[in-house]
Structure 1
Amino acid sequence: MEEDTILYYNGKQFLLTNSIQELIGIINVPYRKEEMIENTSISKRWYWKKGALAYWYSEDDGGIRFFKSKEDYENVDISATEYSSEKEMIRAQGMYDSLYVKEYPEKVLSTFYIWDELGFNISTRGTSDTIARICIFPLPMRAIRSPFSKNKPNSQPKAIAAEKKDYEDYTRSLPKGAFKGKITYNGNTCDFSQLKATDWDKMVKQLGLEGAYYDDPGDSKQWSRRNRSYEVHITFNRMTNEGSIDYRSPDEVGSIDFVEKIIISK
């Protein structure tokens, strides 16, 4: 099956290789910009003259892995002795002879350009000007997502804080509104302003995404729809809030069986 992979916005052609500034000019609607930042991090390694070594493997929970020798460290069949702190490790193994510390500065992982009223965002990697991904949200995901919960069994405070940051970062990247425009794919057009939150099957039919050709790889073949072009990847991610912990319940926001997001990437 031959697929049309030429992209248009309001009749104007663009490429995923275009700069974000070119596409901003084509869209010509106000947007906001959010940067996803990786905080400063530190890598630590401890060494003993007797050959032992240890490394800090998780900044989130302070975990340290200790090996009696370099050979043990390189042997995947040998498990490390784990300590929750440097103080605990020194009590058990004695004072180390040398310490290596490297600090990694704060860096921008990705930049999001968000059109709240139009219901989509465009991301670039780091501070690059090249488009990495376009995400279209036919539902108001900010209102549908479950609030962040701190009630996570067996999680350390730092791990919970890191998860909370990820949750807040992703929320910032989401448009405040939903996409209510039209999408045309391979000559088939779907008007999302005319669809309800339970119209997944209707959307699939209108865009001609039925059949095994558009099945998602893996075990859940019928769950999402995707094209097979190597030039432009398009994925229609399905979602439901029935029994979900990620989304608000049907009692709160009504039943949902629809598109979570449409992802367009190179």
Structure 2
Amino acid sequence: MSNLVSCQEKMSNSIYDKGFVIKDSLFYYNGNKITINESIDHFVKVIGKPDRIITDSEKVHFDKSWKWKNRYEAFENYEHKIIVSAAKQNNDYVDKQFNTIGDAVKELGQFDEYQNEKDELEIRQFYVWDNLGISIWVEKTRVVQVNITLLPPAIFRGFLFEDEDPEFKASFPKKLYSGEFTYNEKTVNLKSLKNLEWENFIKELDITDSKFDPPGDSKGWSREIRASDDLYAIFNRYKTTNETSPKIDVISSINIFSYGKKNN
């Protein structure tokens, strides 16, 4: 694949020629420079043709609301019921539910204002490389996030809700990533089961310091590399807490994304 990218995008040092690499604020795969938010076409040139492309779209959402000048406001909830809020003099609110806006009008009188805001249909795609254990989340042909799977999909799906959409469930690769991951000259070979153990992994990659703590109170459950606003990496932990279950404490996945502005 090296003939498909310019020499300027190819790293010459052999330590970076295998697997994923974060060096300073740059991101590479097999020595080829890649950038979050760029076109998926470049990733395909570097990684190769995906095994599957999963398309997932959210339903169009209508935000309906009504107002009565004499203090009433109403909106339609996710069950398509009409919720009317009546303001009291002490600024408290009392909600009342109606089956239809017609039922509300019969009791409250004709409304004075009506709004119907339509959200855009959000379409996202997942480019999946089953044999590599990699999937890429894409919106409008641009890469949003690179996902590296290190935990068997059957266990991963246990994290999901029963009603999670089937397209999202299908976005997990069928096999696990077993290549290398390098951060500032510290390399972990993820083909080794020992290196998948959480404590071994963060020690080998040298990300035990508090500067790699995630925000909030979940410091024990992940590590973060904040290379730049355009390059973040989150290392997710999977640990069994039930004493009756087999003891497992491993890295489950790596997510690489950007907090910078999206390209349009």
Counterpart in the other structure of 1:193 = 191
1:78 maps to a residue whose letter is D
Q: Please, what TM-score do these two structures have when normalized by structure 2?
A: 0.75
Structure 1 residues 207, 37: closer, same or farther in 2, change over 3 A? same
Asked if 1:111 is matched to 2:95, the reply is no
4+ residue segments displaced more than 4 Å: 47-51, 147-150
In the alignment, is the contact (CA less than 8 A) between 2:133 and 2:177 conserved in 1?
Answer: yes
Q: Aligned partners of 1:76, 1:115: CA distance in 2, in Å? A: 59
Counterpart in the other structure of 2:34 = 14
5 Å-filtered alignment, 1:26-37, equals 26-37=46-57
Kindly state the Cα deviation for residue 147 of structure 1 after the two structures are TM-superposed.
Answer: 8.3
In the alignment, is the contact (CA less than 8 A) between 1:148 and 1:167 conserved in 2?
Answer: no
Counterpart in the other structure of 1:62 = 80
5 Å-filtered alignment, 1:97-176, equals 97=111, 100=114, 102=116, 104=118, 107-125=121-139, 128-146=140-158, 164=163, 166-176=164-174
Kindly state the Cα deviation for residue 214 of structure 1 after the two structures are TM-superposed.
Answer: 1.3
Q: Aligned partners of 1:95, 1:142: CA distance in 2, in Å? A: 55
Larger mean CA deviation between 203-212 and 215-224 belongs to: 215-224
2:136 maps to a residue whose letter is I
Kindly state the Cα deviation for residue 143 of structure 1 after the two structures are TM-superposed.
Answer: 4.3
Structure 1 residues 229, 76: closer, same or farther in 2, change over 3 A? farther
1:189-209 per-position Cα deviation (integer Å, ceiling 9, x unaligned): 111111259711111111111
Counterpart in the other structure of 2:44 = 24
Kindly state the Cα deviation for residue 77 of structure 1 after the two structures are TM-superposed.
Answer: 4.8
Counterpart in the other structure of 2:240 = 241
Kindly state the Cα deviation for residue 30 of structure 1 after the two structures are TM-superposed.
Answer: 3.2
Structure 1 residues 167, 47: closer, same or farther in 2, change over 3 A? same
Asked if 1:258 is matched to 2:257, the reply is no
5 Å-filtered alignment, 1:211-250, equals 211-230=209-228, 231-243=230-242, 250=245
Kindly state the Cα deviation for residue 256 of structure 1 after the two structures are TM-superposed.
Answer: 2.6
Give % identity: 26
Larger mean CA deviation between 100-109 and 190-199 belongs to: 100-109
Structure 1 residues 106, 187: closer, same or farther in 2, change over 3 A? same
Structure 1 residues 103, 6: closer, same or farther in 2, change over 3 A? closer
Q: Please, what TM-score do these two structures have when normalized by structure 1?
A: 0.74
SS in 1 for 2:122: strand
Coordinate RMSD, CA, aligned: 3.4
Give unpaired runs (5+ residues) of structure 1.
Answer: 151-163
Q: Aligned partners of 2:256, 2:44: CA distance in 1, in Å? A: 16
1:65 maps to a residue whose letter is I
2:28 maps to a residue whose letter is Y
Kindly state the Cα deviation for residue 108 of structure 1 after the two structures are TM-superposed.
Answer: 3.1
